Amino acid sequence: MARPVIAIVGRPNVGKSTIFNRVVGDRLAIVEDKPGVTRDRLYSPGEWNGKAFSIVDTGGIEIDGEDEIMKSVRMQAELAIEEADVIIFMCDAKSGVTHADDEVAQMLFRSRKPVVLAVNKVDNLNRMDEIYEFYGLGFGEPIAISGSHGLGIGDMLDAAIEKLPELEDDGYDDDVIRVALIGRPNVGKSSLVNALLGEERVIVSNVAGTTRDAIDTPFERDGQRYVLIDTAGMRKRGKVYESTEKYSVMRALKAIERADVVLVLINGEEGIIEQDKHIAGYAHEAGKASIFVVNKWDVVDKDEKTMQEFTQNIRDHFLFMTYAPIVFLSAKTKQRLHKLLPVVNHVSEQHAMRIQTHLLNDVVSDAVAYNPPPTDKGKRLKINYVTQVATKPPTIVIFVNNPEMMHFSYERYLENKIRAAFDFEGTPVRLFTRKKSDED
């Protein structure tokens, strides 16, 4: 089930990226006191009062700017508005209501989406009087916030959560494997869907961006039921999009959220480019089982080392996804196509696998005995016990005497030992360190 989407929009330099970083708890967005620094939408999962959502940071909407970057930023923001369930409209108390704010307000009225009006840079109570003019924008009571001081963020999120819709389940049974196909334009996603189905079910064209939206296609093979979720190709950052295409990365992200297994398609003829890393990163961050699918393998000039070299190239470029298997195929000729679904079945099982607590503790105990945690100022990390708390992805909590002493390198060592014992091929494994309490 896809998370509901909250988009932060507004003219440039009102502090959207600072608020976005406050909500997600990390400095993911570029923050600089200069208009137009945020050039692309940023996405991150968020949670507030038990309600999960995806939050989008958009580039500032520059109504009068006609240069190429501002055209792109405006289109990005319009598409985020189109895909959002709730919009946080951010303004700047120091500047007051500007002509650009009025123009953005008109865009939001036309969208007919629920809007929360947040007025940033209200850094102290003496500035509260400055928010009253924002009532004139027509979105009800403005919420005073301060990104730099973290004030009012909870009130803003309370208001946004209240307006989020209740999402309905997609209606598929639990035994159905949901498979999302993602990748930059023209890597052959639609061709692969057609090859798996054995019929022309989606538009196939060599024009990049032919697939305009996510398309669900159920099918069954050897008693296993699947749903293929084909998405619009993710374009390279900074490209100006035609408004008629209505292309949006958000649709691909929604497809990833709904998926059990994500197929990250790479063009075997062109090789790996930087954009492929961004696309794969979305699946990794969402905690989904993933498979690299190198398509168009039929047109690659090959010798006995070509596949091995391409595999190593993928491993070198995607160091954060060494767990993901690689399948080489041609959707056009169906060469090696039969190898794909067995791998999909396997990684789906690994993604949903639950390990008994005593087996997990045995593996970790052996790992600690073989390589004890390093000491820090005479103190040593003590691992009390380990338990798996969730699946999809497998999520493991390590209870220790002092979580601050768990170095990321030792955590990675434990993950590698767990993977060696239980496989978990194709799926990220999430480890969390917690202090053991009396209740535990």
Q: Is 230 annotated as a binding residue?
A: yes
296 is an annotated ligand-binding site residue: yes
pLDDT one-digit tens code per residue, 263-307: 999 999 888 887 788 778 888 988 999 999 999 999 898 888 999
Q: Is 13 annotated as a binding residue?
A: yes
Q: Any binding-site annotation on 46? A: no
172 within some domain: no
Residue 232 annotated as binding? Answer: yes
Does the annotation list 409 as a binding residue? no
344 annotated binding-site participant: no
| Residue 38: predicted pLDDT | 36
* pLDDT for the residue numbered 71: 62
Whether 121 has a pLDDT exceeding 80, the answer reads yes
Q: Is 209 annotated as a binding residue?
A: no
Residue 305 in marked binding region: no
Question: Element (H or E) spanning 56, and its range?
Answer: strand 51-57
Report how far residue 180's alpha carbon sits from residue 194's, in angstroms, rounded to the nearest whole number.
14
Decide: 183 and 29 in contact? Cβ < 8 Å.
Answer: no
Distances (CA, A) of 264 to 153, 327, 332, 440: 36, 10, 17, 40
Which amino acid, 304?
E
Q: Are residues 147 and 14 in the same domain?
A: yes
Question: In the numeric block, which tokens belong to residue 213?
Answer: 């939206």
Report pLDDT digits (tens) over 316-351: 999 889 999 999 999 999 999 999 999 999 999 999
- 58 a known binding residue? yes
Number of domains forming the structure of the chain: 3
User: Do 397 and 248 share a structural domain?
Assistant: no
State whether 93 and 199 are in the same domain: no
Is residue 12 a known part of a binding site?
yes
Residue span of the structural domain in which 331 resides? 177-351
Same domain, 362 and 345: no
Q: Where is pLDDT greater, at 81 or 207?
A: 81
The answer to whether the annotation marks 327 as part of a ligand binding site is no
> 11: annotated binding-site residue?
yes
Pair (430, 345) in one structural domain: no
User: In terms of domains, do 137 and 246 share one?
Assistant: no
Q: Is 126 annotated as a binding residue?
A: no
298 marked among binding-site residues? yes
pLDDT at 155: 93
- Round to whole Å and give the CA distance between 131 and 19: 18
Give the burial string for 168-195 (b: 16+ CB within 10 Å, else e).
eeeebeeebbbbbbbbbbbbbbbbbbbb
Q: Which of 267, 268, 208 shows the shortest CA–CA distance to 234?
A: 208
Ligand-binding annotation for 295, yes or no, is yes
Domain end call among 351, 373, 405:
351
The whole-angstrom separation of Cα 265 and Cα 330 is: 11
- CA max distance for the chain: 73
| Same-domain status, 319 and 398 | no
As given in the structure block, the two tokens for residue 369 are 């005995």
The answer to whether the predicted template modeling score (pTM) of the entire model surpasses 0.75 is no
Judge if 200 and 235 occupy the same domain.
Answer: yes
Is residue 374 located within the same domain as residue 319?
no
Residue 396's CATH number: 3.30.300.20
Q: Residue 14, annotated ligand binder?
A: yes
Using 50, 70 and 90 to split pLDDT, how confident is the model at 235? very low
Is 169 labeled as ligand-binding? no
Q: Is 403 assigned to a binding site?
A: no
**306 has binding-site annotation:** no
- Please indicate if the annotation marks 48 as binding a ligand: no
Q: Are residues 316 and 374 in the same domain?
A: no
In-domain check, residue 170: no
Q: Is residue 288 part of a domain?
A: yes
Q: Which residues pair with 116 in a beta bridge?
A: 88
Decide which of 163, 189, 217 is a domain's last residue.
163
Q: Any binding-site annotation on 61?
A: yes
190 known ligand binder: yes
